[in-house]
Amino acid sequence: MAEFTMDLNDDQKQVRDWLHGFAKDVIRPAAAEWDEREETPWPVIQEAAKVGIYSLDFYAQQFFDPTGLGIPVAMEELFWGDAGIALSIVGTGLAAVGVLANGTEEQIGTWIPQMYGDVNDVKVAAFCSSEPDAGSDVASMRTRAVYDEAKDEWVLNGTKTWATNGGIAAVHVVVAVVDPELGSKGHASFIVPPNTPGLTQGQKFKKHGIRASHTAEVVLEDVRVPGSCLLGGKEKLDERLARSREKAKAGGGERVKNAAMATFEASRPAVGAMAVGTARAAYDYALEYAKTREQFGRPIIDNQGIAFQLADMRTQIDAARLLVWRASWMATTGKKFESAEGSMSKLYASETAKKVTGQAIQILGGNGFTREYPVERMHRDAAIYTIFEGTSEIQRLVIARTLAGMPIR
């Protein structure tokens, strides 16, 4: 088991510096343009593919870092560049992880390469879980998957929402209900191959922030996929459903739910790292501005009101990073989240990003309120962190119920 340390090793430092250079030289110069266009930044994704950042191999290397710090370090640097473009680069990873976590070796080898495409023809993938009436309440999911035994096909019907890359993806991974009586334990994940009839893009959302990341509804109308597109296969699904039914009869349903919640806990530090990156970007800009902007004959950082704000901003960012690193290390080394440390890291980092980006606008004054300066965009982007991957309210609920020893519903 890797010991916890705040000192990155030489390999981690090299990756960090490499990603920082890409964020500085490639992502940042393109950020304002693609935010205004509200379109997927395909040229930037292609550049990321050329240097090896947009690939499963890169994220696998970071994921399997024995210290657990590979992913948070990578996320912080990319999102320091720009949150919208960074999400376009890492969004395919959501679908890829869904296949890696649940798929067979054959499914992994077949579908993940199609998610990324190649350097000359990059593709993206979409993970489709949320629905208009089922966001935090996953048990309310209505998208159904019905097995047609005669044709060995699954028929999917429903509407997904808030899907990153939804509708423009080459491959969609769709979570659907196969047994309504089992609630969230009656769900399964399906691959929808490219150009499958019945899958269409619904509304594309015009968002407050992260506007370079495509977010849309995905409509499924009698979408037929081969039986081989059920992640993990039908035999495995049938066994899992049978176990869940037995546990439900024995009164063990709540314990199963908590095990599922533990999986979400382990993924939340990555979102916290994204928030840290955005907060750090705003702080860095505000700090340099305060050093060079003069009022009343001296730099505004000489004014205690500005200097104290910057001190608080830096302290909060460092505290958020430490919470993220702790939770990431715990998840990788198998430490149990006794106090919902994953939710703690996501909650604090998300709230810090909103606060710090707002303070950066205040330090820049009128300039900060215009789109001529990047902190305005960073503030808009930061709002998403307190919403997706579980709202701040949900994080507080998870933490409170964990501390109280109560079941998490």
Query: Residue holding tokens 């890169």?
Result: 58
Strand, coil or helix: 344: helix
Q: Are residues 112 and 20 in the same domain?
A: yes
In a domain, 356, yes or no: yes
Are the beta carbons of 268 and 345 closer than 8 angstroms?
Answer: yes
Domain end: 70, 94, 122, which one? Answer: 122
For residues 103 and 140, state if they share a domain: no
Q: Is residue 114 part of a domain?
A: yes
54 plus 148 within the same structural domain: no
What does the chain come to in residues?
409
- Tell me if 409 is assigned to some domain: no
Q: pLDDT (tens digit, 0 to 9) for every residue of the chain, 409 residues total? A: 667 778 899 999 999 999 999 999 999 999 999 999 999 999 999 999 999 999 988 988 998 899 999 999 999 999 999 999 999 999 999 899 889 888 999 999 999 999 999 999 999 999 998 898 866 666 678 999 999 999 999 999 999 999 999 999 999 999 999 999 888 789 999 999 999 999 999 999 999 999 999 999 999 999 999 999 999 999 999 898 988 888 777 765 444 443 334 445 567 899 999 999 999 999 999 999 999 998 999 999 999 999 999 999 999 999 999 999 999 999 898 888 889 999 999 999 999 999 999 999 999 999 999 999 999 999 999 999 999 888 999 999 999 999 998 876 6
| CATH number, domain containing residue 276 | 1.20.140.10
Both 141 and 64 in a single domain?
A: no
- The CATH number that applies at residue 38 is 1.10.540.10
Domain closes at, from 107, 122, 137: 122
Same structural domain, 294 and 398? yes
- Please indicate, yes or no, if residue 351 is contained in any of the structural domains: yes
Number of domains in the chain: 3
* Residues 115 and 229 grouped into a single domain: no
Asked if residue 210 and residue 146 are part of one domain, the reply reads yes
Query: Has residue 239 been placed in a domain?
Result: no
CATH for 149:
2.40.110.10
Residues 260 and 320 in one domain: yes
Q: What is the dihedral of CA 312, 315, 317, 318, to 10 degrees?
A: 180
What is the 8-class DSSP label of residue 159?
E
Structural domain boundaries enclosing 74: 10-122
pLDDT of residue 409: 60
Per-residue pLDDT at 138: 66
Closest residue by Cα to residue 273 from 335, 340, 210, 323: 323
Q: Hey, which residues are catalytic here?
A: 389
Does one domain contain both 86 and 190? no
Question: What is the pairing mode between strands 187-192 and 153-164?
Answer: unpaired
Residue 156 lies in a domain: yes
Report the distance separating Cα 333 and Cα 336, nearest Å.
9
pLDDT of residue 298: 94
Could you tell me if 179 and 295 lie in one domain?
A: no
Three-state secondary structure string covering 381-392 = HHHHHHCCCCCH
Q: Are 302 and 334 found together in one domain?
A: yes
**167 & 62 share domain:** no
User: Can you state the angle between helices 375-382 and 253-292, rounded to 10 degrees?
Assistant: 170
Q: Look at residues 78, 97, 122 and tell me which one is the last residue of a structural domain.
A: 122
Query: Which string of b and e fits 292-318 if b means at least 16 CB within 10 Å?
Result: ebeeeeeebbeeeebeebbeebbebbe
pTM: 0.91
**Is 243 a domain residue?**
no
List Cα–Cα distances, 67 to 15, 64, 221, in angstroms. 14, 8, 44
DSSP secondary-structure letter at 338?
T
249 within some domain: no
List CB contacts of 388: < 8 A, sequence separation 6 or more: 162, 271
CB 310 within 8 A of CB 287: yes
